[in-house]
Structure 1
Amino acid sequence: MSITPGGCGASAIIFQAPVNEGRMRFLSKLAASVFMTLMALPAFADLPQHVPQDKAFGFQPAATEVARQIQIFHNLWLMPIITAIVVVVTLLMLYIFIRFNRKANPEPMRFSHNSLVEVAWTIIPILILLIIAVPSFRLLYLEDVIPEADLTVKAIGSQWYWDYEYTDPAGDPDKTLSYSSIMLEADEAKAAGKPRLLGVDNPMVVPAGKVVRVIVTATDVLHSFAMPAFGVKIDAVPGRLNETWFKVDEPGIYYGQCSELCGKRHAYMPIEIHVLPQADYDAWFVKTQAEYAASYAPKRAQLASAN
């Protein structure tokens, strides 16, 4: 999910072939490739944080507790189970190929079932699913149950930009703010020091260490609000309100994208979130609210001078 650096999985391919010099050379090359890959993994630790990296794999560094739990579930539960299944099935297939081929068994065996095998391949998958279910239900509960929010932001998806609306939990009309967030062109992003196709003109800004509830909807077609570092991905559906939440303790700039195919410029609908210390956030909110209020204030008509 990614989506930048996180856990990694390994897979093995086993080829059945006669033991000969060619096979030994192949295995030597394979072992050398695996060794070099494992030796290169620590280099990913030096990559910049919060920005997707070219040719990287795994998850982005987790910025929220939800993202951390997602990565733990993936790395410590799913990947070991999946790896074990792949290894066992591969070994069984190799055993069948060797033990029950035409040369080894010119006379085919004649039986229709095996009770022990049938019971085993029924019970074992059930146990595997139960093992996966326990941590997955805990994770779903963590994602679904939203704590009492310190801030509510409404994210509205449109082709191909986002609108953000801030509302005060107490209903104070003086603490509201709304604006649009549009992707910067390549030259604008470069001048602003932002990554290409991810930087925007007006990012979402939230305070660090606070529970932020995000209400998500859309005006035209399906969109999806996705922030990999937060462990957040939720559909934006026209005429419907979905909600999610996050709490980021580390100030910084985080990037995501619309993750639902929404038209020809789907790839140009990024999400940029600035997480600021509370004092900086308060100053930003007051300043931005005043700027937008001034820009939208009705202007008085000016009469031409009689002179």
Structure 2
Amino acid sequence: MWYMMNFQDFNSFLYMYMIEFHDLSLMILLMILFFIMYIIIMFMYNLMINKNILHNQIIEIIWTMIPMVILIFMAIPSLKILYWMEDDYDMFFITMKILGHQWYWSYEYSDFKDIEFDSFMMTEYMPMSLRLLDVDNRLILPVDFYIRGMVSSLDVIHSWAMPVMGVKIDAIPGRINQFIMNINYLGIYFGQCSEICGLNHSFMPIVLEVMPLEMFLDWANKN
């Protein structure tokens, strides 16, 4: 059951850094927690206390400077990850448009002629499919290329989320949001709409199928 309590395995370098930053922050917080618990217990059982000491300027400076240093130590990797998330690379292999509807997704490949389709949740069980997570038309992308996604909505606010990529971006009517991802491994990955968008919000799955470039180009030519 431990794997259900942790994050999903990363499939992009950006998500790997997010997990590492989470682990670093958690380790720092646990160290602070144990230190404070130790101080509390020590003062509860320590009778050698001078109650006449009301202040100590050196200690006050120390307990002000140490948290500041810790926050700076945590801010540097955090800002680096934020910069990578918003970095605008010059070269994209594919720019795709993702449109949210009530309650399905539409995909358009801007760099290929006339490749666009809707993606609905499968209503009938098929062998080797996951209930409430599989779709009739999967999003097909090549491995190990920079992909730019342009996300918007045609009705209400949705959220396109793919946990293994570290991507969760809102689809807002009248606004285009952008994300960048580089997929490192082949496979089939699942996500869902992560913004409450109405009656069938829980029935807007996302399925991403990652394949080698040759297979992707064959698929694009057939469509």
Q: TM-score, normalised by structure 2?
A: 0.90
Residue by residue over 1:129-157, the C-alpha shift from the partner in whole angstroms, topping out at 9 and shown as x without a partner, is 10001111111121111322100111111
Aligned-pair CA distance for 1:113: 3.7
Partner of 2:84: 142
- Aligned pairs for 1:27-42 within 5 A: none
- Percent identical among aligned pairs is 36
> How many equivalent residue pairs?
222
Aligned-pair CA distance for 1:177: 1.7
Of residues 108, 114, 122, the one that matches 2:64 is 122
Residue by residue over 1:55-107, the C-alpha shift from the partner in whole angstroms, topping out at 9 and shown as x without a partner, is x12111111111111122222x212111111111222222333347xxx98xx
Which runs of 5 or more structure 1 residues have no equivalent in the other structure? 1-39, 45-55, 169-173, 289-307
1:158 aligned partner, one-letter code: H
Q: TM-score, normalised by structure 1?
A: 0.67
1:177 aligned partner, one-letter code: I
1:149 aligned partner, one-letter code: F
Contact 1:146 1:213 in 2 (8 A): no
Once residues 277 and 60 of structure 1 are traced to their aligned partners in structure 2, the CA distance between those partners, rounded to angstroms, is: 22
Of residues 129, 138, 158, the one that matches 2:101 is 158
Partner of 2:116: 178
Once residues 136 and 127 of structure 1 are traced to their aligned partners in structure 2, the CA distance between those partners, rounded to angstroms, is: 14
Of residues 139, 158, 161, the one that matches 1:226 is 161
Once residues 262 and 120 of structure 1 are traced to their aligned partners in structure 2, the CA distance between those partners, rounded to angstroms, is: 49
1:205 aligned partner, one-letter code: I
Once residues 176 and 78 of structure 2 are traced to their aligned partners in structure 1, the CA distance between those partners, rounded to angstroms, is: 24
Once residues 193 and 86 of structure 1 are traced to their aligned partners in structure 2, the CA distance between those partners, rounded to angstroms, is: 46
Q: Is 1:246 the counterpart of 2:184 in the alignment?
A: no
Once residues 72 and 108 of structure 2 are traced to their aligned partners in structure 1, the CA distance between those partners, rounded to angstroms, is: 42
Distance 1:93 1:212, change over 3 A: same
Please give the root-mean-square deviation of Cα atoms over the aligned residues, in Å: 2.2
2:93 aligned partner, one-letter code: D
Between structures 1 and 2, the one with greater helix share: 1
Structure with higher RCO (Cα < 8 A, 6+ apart): 2
Partner of 2:39: 92
Partner of 2:25: 78
Partner of 1:24: none
Once residues 97 and 154 of structure 1 are traced to their aligned partners in structure 2, the CA distance between those partners, rounded to angstroms, is: 61
Partner of 1:53: none
Q: Is 1:193 the counterpart of 2:128 in the alignment?
A: yes
Q: Is 1:66 the counterpart of 2:14 in the alignment?
A: yes
2:76 aligned partner, one-letter code: V
Distance 1:133 1:284, change over 3 A: same
2:31 aligned partner, one-letter code: A
1:67 aligned partner, one-letter code: Y
Specify the SS of the correspondent of 1:176: coil
Partner of 1:214: 149
Once residues 201 and 94 of structure 1 are traced to their aligned partners in structure 2, the CA distance between those partners, rounded to angstroms, is: 60
Specify the SS of the correspondent of 1:132: helix
1:271 aligned partner, one-letter code: I
Distance 1:269 1:110, change over 3 A: farther
Aligned-pair CA distance for 1:112: 4.9
Once residues 127 and 144 of structure 2 are traced to their aligned partners in structure 1, the CA distance between those partners, rounded to angstroms, is: 27
